[in-house]
Amino acid sequence: MQFVNFSLQLYDIEENDDFGTKLSFAVPKDLAAGFINNKKEEYSFQFERSFDQNVKQDEVFEYVAKDVIDSVLSGYNGTIFAYGQTGSGKTFTITGGAERYIDRGIIPRTLSYIFEENSKCPDYVSTTHISYLEIYNDSGYDLLDPKHEATKLEDLPKVSLMEDNDGNMHLKNLSLHPASSEEEALNLLFLGDTNRMIAETPMNQASTRSHCIFTIHVSRREAGSATMKRAKLHLVDLAGSERIGKTGVGGNLLTEAKYINLSLHYLEQESISTCRFAQRVARIKNDAFLNEELDPKVMIARLKGEIQELKNQLSLTSEDQRTDVLSAEDLERREHLLY
């Protein structure tokens, strides 16, 4: 059990092997003169795991991301996202720090892990593709514009969100880039991060004012097999969840805050609301489906081979029929049928 004083708030992390982690907060009342404050002081939440500020990036990756990546490599779609107040470390957790190699975040560690796992399976044919989307003021932008690096966000191709008749969502005009190595994938990540728009707010001068979705598209099949497994891993860095009234901004930044809060629905900042949101998300149950299909290229090659084999057999049969000599009885029967 550990007690830490953090921004005038006390929190307690209690580990339990059977029930996971219990996180408790103590929020002192605001005892302003002349007012009675009946606000709740004690809050507690139950999670599978909680980390304190001393946790290392490799620990977070090992516990949060590794099992999800393994599922993606097996053909199941997965999502990992960071939610919370501006300045709480979302981008550092997802992308990482640039100064030290040990500070790499979930995205670069995931790319390294995927290509490492692919190298362990030489009998498999594997492909990896990358897309990088930014959502700013309710509009989508392609961060991996193949033409050039943008000088401003509006220079990037705009991405539209479309819904089909079955309720499935599709991204129109979002480019997909092949990555045959970890280095190529990291270069795409660097290009996308370069194109990300960073804005200043009174709360944090390096605050990200948009949602960013880095998606890794993976396909794998065993050599000689026509069955292919495809899956997508979405790694999401959400915008800060601070309430408009506490940002102290106006003009364009006020508009940004409105759109951010609109897309985050009813979610609020401060530690308590973040924990409430995390508990709600933890209760969501999804039906996982294996994304398995027949590789059309392999199937076409296989069918062409079968067609050629049938042609060869038919040719042999035809030649046999042409070279056979009819007996006298067969000739008599033929004459009878003709006349």
Q: What is the pLDDT of residue 326?
A: 66
Q: What is the domain partition of the chain in residue ranges?
A: 1-54, 55-294
Residue 270: band (very low, low, confident or very high) from pLDDT cuts 50, 70, 90:
confident
More confident residue, 20 or 251: 20
**How would residue 184 be classed by pLDDT, with cut points 50, 70 and 90?**
very high
Between the CA of residue 161 and those of 21, 140, 170, 210, 332, what are the distances in Å?
Answer: 38, 8, 6, 16, 76
Residue listed under structure tokens 């097996």: 74
CA 78, CA 53: separation in Å to the nearest integer? 26
Please give the average per-residue pLDDT across 271-300, as a whole number: 72
The kind and range of the H/E element at 170 are strand 169-172
- Burial class of 266 by CB neighbour count within 10 A (0 to 12, 13 to 18, 19+): exposed
Q: Which residue bears the tokens 């045959």?
A: 180
Higher pLDDT, 337 or 311: 311
Of the pLDDT bands very low, low, confident and very high (cuts 50, 70, 90), residue 39 is low
Q: Within 10 Å of residue 108's Cβ, how many Cβ atoms?
A: 21
Q: Is the pLDDT of residue 243 over 60?
A: no
Give the pLDDT band (50/70/90) at residue 193. confident
Distance from the Cα of residue 253 to its chain's centroid: 28
Backbone angles phi, psi at 131, to 5 degrees: -135, 155
Q: Are 159 and 112 in contact (CB under 8 A)?
A: no
| Binding region for ATP | 84-91
Q: Residue 297's pLDDT is what?
A: 74
Q: Which pLDDT score, from 0 to 100, does residue 119 have?
A: 92
Rounded Cα gap, residues 62 and 31, in angstroms: 43
The tokens 């076409």 sit on which residue?
300
Burial class (CB in 10 A: 0-12, 13-18, 19+), 19: exposed
The pLDDT value recorded for residue 5 is 34
Known binding positions: 84-91
Q: What backbone phi and psi angles, to 5 degrees, belong to 241?
A: -100, 20
Lowest mean pLDDT among 22-31, 91-100, 129-138: 22-31
Assigned CATH topology for domain 55-294? Kinesin (3.40.850)
Q: What pairs with residue 130 in β-bridges?
A: 177, 216
Q: Flag whether pLDDT at 220 surpasses 80.
A: yes
Look at residue 264 in the predicted model and tell me its pLDDT: 52
Q: How many CA atoms lie within 13 A of 308 on its CB side?
A: 6
- Looking at residue 79, the DSSP 8-state letter turns out to be E
Instruction: Find the mean pLDDT for residues 188-192.
Output: 91
Contacts (Cβ under 8 Å, ≥6 apart) of 42: 24, 25, 26, 27
pLDDT of residue 242: 58
Range with the poorest average pLDDT among 58-72, 113-127, 285-299, 316-330: 316-330
What span, in angstroms and rounded, lies between the C-alpha atoms of 133 and 153?
12
Is residue 215's pLDDT more than 50? yes
Range name among 71-80, 112-121, 162-171 with the lowest pLDDT average: 162-171
Residues 139-176 have pLDDT tens digits of 888 999 877 666 777 778 889 888 778 777 788 899 99
Query: Do strands 42-47 and 2-6 pair parallel, antiparallel, or not at all (unpaired)?
Result: unpaired
Per-residue confidence (pLDDT) for residue 302, from 0 to 100: 76
Strands 78-82 and 227-237: parallel
Which range is least confidently modeled, 71-85, 227-241, 312-326?
A: 312-326
pLDDT at 204 over 50: no
Q: Residues 6 or more apart from 30 whose CB is under 8 A from it?
A: 37, 39
108: nearest Cα among 60, 71, 176, 172: 60
Residue 180 has pLDDT above 50, yes or no: yes
Q: How confident is the model at residue 87 (pLDDT cuts 50, 70, 90)?
A: confident
CA dist list (Å): 56 to 109, 235, 309: 13, 19, 60
- In tens, the pLDDT along 244-263 reads 445 455 556 556 665 655 55
Residue 337's pLDDT is 63
Binned at pLDDT 50, 70 and 90, residue 200 comes out as very low
* Residue 203: predicted pLDDT: 43
DSSP secondary structure of 196-254:
S-B---SS-TT-B-SEEEEEEEEEEEETT--EEEEEEEEEEEPPP---HHHH---HHHH
Asked if residues 134 and 212 have their Cβ atoms less than 8 Å apart, the reply is: yes
Residue 199 has pLDDT above 70, yes or no: no
Question: 3-class SS at 51?
Answer: coil
Residue 61 has pLDDT above 80, yes or no: yes
What is the rounded average pLDDT for all residues in the chain? Answer: 76
The residue assigned the tokens 């601070």 is 242
